[in-house]
Structure 1
Amino acid sequence: MVGIDKGMDRRSFLATAGAALTSTALHAAVRKTRAVTGPAKADHTLRIAPTRLEIAPGVVIDTIAYNGQVPGPLLRLREGVPVTIDVTNNSPVPEIVHWHGLAIDSLNDGAVEEGSPMIPVGATHRYQFTPNPTGTRWYHTHAMAMDNLAAGAYTGQAGFLIVEGKKQAGHEGHYDQEINLAVRHWEPSFVPMVDMLREQSANVPQTNGSDVGYKYATMNAHMLGAGEPLRVKKGQRVLMRLLNASATENVVLALPGHTFKIIAMDGNVVPNPKSVEVLSLAVAERVDAIVEMNSPGVWVLGSTLEKSRQMGLGIVVEYAGQKGAPVWKDPAPVEWDYSIFANPTKAADPDETFVLTFRDNGHKMDSKFDVWTINNRSWPDIDPLVVQKGKRYRMVFRNGSGDQHPMHLHRHTFEVTQIGKTQLSGLMKDVINVMPLQSVAVDFVANNPGDTLMHCHQQLHMDYGFMQLIKYAG
């Protein structure tokens, strides 16, 4: 069943919901979710509800979260083993959960554009699917926020989802400790673009309209220096799973005195594991990295931007037997390059190519924010891309703007085949960050029939038109 009446687009739905949470218009817009079927008891349960977090002494955040925690509960699933997850919505607005990176059906994927139902206030919805593929996936809200910065991805609704199987993603033998770290930004506010340009940022903003700025940042539930440090021992191999669960902010991270051996991206084994001192995570990207603990001391794992660390974006790493103030050392400047983790060979030719140009189309809808377009069309007034099952398709992302765009494809994994003039193959992802004025090509095989959403994962861009559906012919 579809969660929104066909006559009401997602943007209009959120405007109605925000204006009158208890109105008859809201309840007309949200249809009843499917009845809970299958086993009487679900394999996992999640409760979406208001939550109060103390991210540092005296710093309290009121947000919406899963089971009262940020990140939400770690879900470990088995590849190919069907699972049921009951989600109860005790938040004040209709909600939905997207199972990011899984090749599942459109109804359970968790996007209203594909036909997934919204979960009404007070209702429980059962998601049923067979997890695939293995690797570091995650789950998060896929609700619109528009100009409500207390909704959607601006809240704490995100959690790790690990799919385990016989071919677990690239963990290269043993590791002594596993650490999952999710980046979050808190207390968002509207900031004119001209003000953003005056400050160094991990993002490169446009010069008109408004952007979103933040007051605090955390790794998991605490700001840098608050909460418990990561405790390690000399000689350990630590598997770090790093997730950028921010609504709009790309981040660059380092751990002085150490390197990250990147073995998987977005949960998928990289063809060419490499050790780097600095790693970049666009919104929604994940990295699996092995860190050799061979530099005893007390260190800061955090943002390479001083202002971001002052906001809280970091965590202390403490070796056994070591004490003292945590140390930060600026790494040497370096440009992030996806291609070093890929094969340097040309990918297979596609059956068809879609060239997609992204631009900012200025202010509309009486909003502080700009509307985004794909080939001069903006959601929902944009025709779908039509594909045929079994064929290989290339999407050429041409960024005609001054913003970075982390492009996400639902329900499929794509192969990165060209960045600028550099051809590559073998690098499989579900999010790719397209830099300002850059062109990036990705290929996917149409092997999972059903409506499929493609969009920029920055909440602000997605809300204001930066989405397009892919439909299977026939």
Structure 2
Amino acid sequence: MWREKTVYIEVENRLEEKTALHVHGLSKPNVQDGMPEIEPTPFIHPGKSHLYQFVAWQSGSFFYHSSNPLQESNGLMGVLIVLPRQEIKIPNRDYVLLIQQWEIDQPALSSLESEVFKPKNLNRNPNFFTINGKSFPDTTPLDVRYGEKVRVRFINNANMSHTMHIHGHDFKIIEEDAFKRKGKYLDTINLPSGKRFDVDLVASNPGIWPVNGTKPFHKTNNGVSPGGMITRLRYI
């Protein structure tokens, strides 16, 4: 969506419990903020719907989630990107990397069972780590061509901070929490919980390069390596 446009989000509650929607980081009228436990926004009861309406006054990377922490920790969230009305240097490619963590019962550390599991509430002791809902080797590569300008939007929806590293490339911070920054060049960035960083890089070093968290356990699936918070910057 575009900056300064009116946003309409209709939420239909098909759960068996009440819920509400909060857009993290984007200012809006109090009644549209989506935190009914502590403000005048209405709850959405089972079988009911609610229309949120506000102006996206600011461009940048945001995310939305249920106001109920248990629902959010079970995955009831998503990403919202607001584009500027005009951008002089438009990147050739634009990628979102949503960082999450999950606590899922397994028979033992360093073993995996291929079944459908429900995450534990609040994921306080995570053993799986994902990028855009998938852990390596199922993550989607970031495909680029030599010479392209690439934007990567890091969004951390996990309980803990995560440090991300792009191998073989330096990048510059363009925005922090949707506010412009005069970025210095880095190859590693720390993402506290709830934080968003938009970075730009130039695809100037052909190959297949890891993009990964730096903490060893976060690069595994329940201790099985390689896995977890890894994807690839892949030249095509």
TM-score scaled to structure 1, two decimals?
0.43
Do structure 1's residue 220 and structure 2's residue 220 form an aligned pair? no
Per the alignment, in what secondary structure is the counterpart of residue 114 of structure 1?
A: coil
State which of 209, 220, 230 in structure 2 corresponds to 1:310. Answer: 220
Do structure 1's residue 154 and structure 2's residue 73 form an aligned pair? yes
Alignment-derived partner of residue 319 in structure 1:
235
Alignment-derived partner of residue 94 in structure 1:
18
Cα 1:164–1:256 shift into 2, 3 Å: closer
State which of 100, 110, 116 in structure 1 corresponds to 2:34. Answer: 110
Measured in 1, the distance between the counterparts of 2:77 and 2:101 equals 12
Measured in 2, the distance between the counterparts of 1:176 and 1:131 equals 24
Measured in 2, the distance between the counterparts of 1:228 and 1:131 equals 29
Alignment-derived partner of residue 174 in structure 2:
263
Unaligned runs of 5+ in 2: 106-122, 222-227
Do structure 1's residue 288 and structure 2's residue 204 form an aligned pair? no
Question: What one-letter code is carried by the residue in structure 1 that aligns with 2:233?
Answer: V
Asked which structure has the greater CA Rg, the reply is 1
Measured in 1, the distance between the counterparts of 2:146 and 2:10 equals 42
| CA contact 1:134–1:167 (8 Å) conserved in 2 | no
Measured in 2, the distance between the counterparts of 1:83 and 1:303 equals 33
Question: What one-letter code is carried by the residue in structure 2 that aligns with 1:259?
Answer: D
Measured in 2, the distance between the counterparts of 1:81 and 1:236 equals 29
Alignment-derived partner of residue 28 in structure 1:
none
Question: What one-letter code is carried by the residue in structure 1 that aligns with 2:212?
Answer: G
Runs of 4+ with deviation above 3 angstroms: 165-168
Per the alignment, in what secondary structure is the counterpart of residue 273 of structure 1?
A: coil
Q: Offset of 1:134 from its aligned partner?
A: 1.9
Alignment of 1:313-392 (within 5 A): 313-320=229-236
Alignment-derived partner of residue 96 in structure 2:
180
Measured in 2, the distance between the counterparts of 1:307 and 1:297 equals 26
Do structure 1's residue 123 and structure 2's residue 66 form an aligned pair? no
Alignment-derived partner of residue 137 in structure 1:
62
Q: Offset of 1:167 from its aligned partner?
A: 5.8
Q: Offset of 1:227 from its aligned partner?
A: 4.1
Higher RCO (Cα < 8 Å, 6 or more apart)? 2
Question: What one-letter code is carried by the residue in structure 1 that aligns with 2:163?
Answer: V
Alignment of 1:40-55 (within 5 A): none
Q: Offset of 1:103 from its aligned partner?
A: 1.8
Question: What one-letter code is carried by the residue in structure 2 that aligns with 1:230?
Answer: L
Alignment of 1:386-405 (within 5 A): none
Superposed CA offset, 1:224-247 (max 9, x none): 22143221122211111110011x
| CA contact 2:103–2:124 (8 Å) conserved in 1 | no
Question: What one-letter code is carried by the residue in structure 1 that aligns with 2:190?
Answer: S
| CA contact 2:139–2:230 (8 Å) conserved in 1 | no
Question: What one-letter code is carried by the residue in structure 2 that aligns with 1:306?
Answer: P
Question: What one-letter code is carried by the residue in structure 2 that aligns with 1:222?
Answer: K
* Alpha-carbon RMSD: 1.8
Q: Offset of 1:264 from its aligned partner?
A: 0.4
Superposed CA offset, 1:228-287 (max 9, x none): 3221122211111110011x12100001111221010011101x2211111011111111
Measured in 2, the distance between the counterparts of 1:92 and 1:285 equals 31
| CA contact 1:223–1:313 (8 Å) conserved in 2 | yes
Measured in 2, the distance between the counterparts of 1:241 and 1:228 equals 15
Alignment-derived partner of residue 163 in structure 1:
82
Q: Offset of 1:166 from its aligned partner?
A: 3.3
Q: Offset of 1:164 from its aligned partner?
A: 2.7
Question: What one-letter code is carried by the residue in structure 2 that aligns with 1:102?
Answer: L
Unaligned runs of 5+ in 1: 1-75, 145-150, 190-210, 321-474
Per the alignment, in what secondary structure is the counterpart of residue 98 of structure 1?
A: strand
Measured in 2, the distance between the counterparts of 1:158 and 1:107 equals 20
Measured in 1, the distance between the counterparts of 2:59 and 2:141 equals 29
Per the alignment, in what secondary structure is the counterpart of residue 16 of structure 2?
A: coil
Alignment-derived partner of residue 7 in structure 2:
83
Q: Offset of 1:82 from its aligned partner?
A: 2.1
Alignment of 1:370-449 (within 5 A): none
Measured in 1, the distance between the counterparts of 2:186 and 2:31 equals 39
Measured in 2, the distance between the counterparts of 1:83 and 1:257 equals 39
Question: What one-letter code is carried by the residue in structure 1 that aligns with 2:47?
Answer: G
Do structure 1's residue 276 and structure 2's residue 195 form an aligned pair? no
Alignment-derived partner of residue 146 in structure 2:
234
Alignment-derived partner of residue 163 in structure 2:
252
Measured in 2, the distance between the counterparts of 1:95 and 1:188 equals 24
Q: Offset of 1:109 from its aligned partner?
A: 0.6
| CA contact 1:140–1:159 (8 Å) conserved in 2 | yes
Superposed CA offset, 1:12-38 (max 9, x none): xxxxxxxxxxxxxxxxxxxxxxxxxxx
Q: Offset of 1:102 from its aligned partner?
A: 1.7
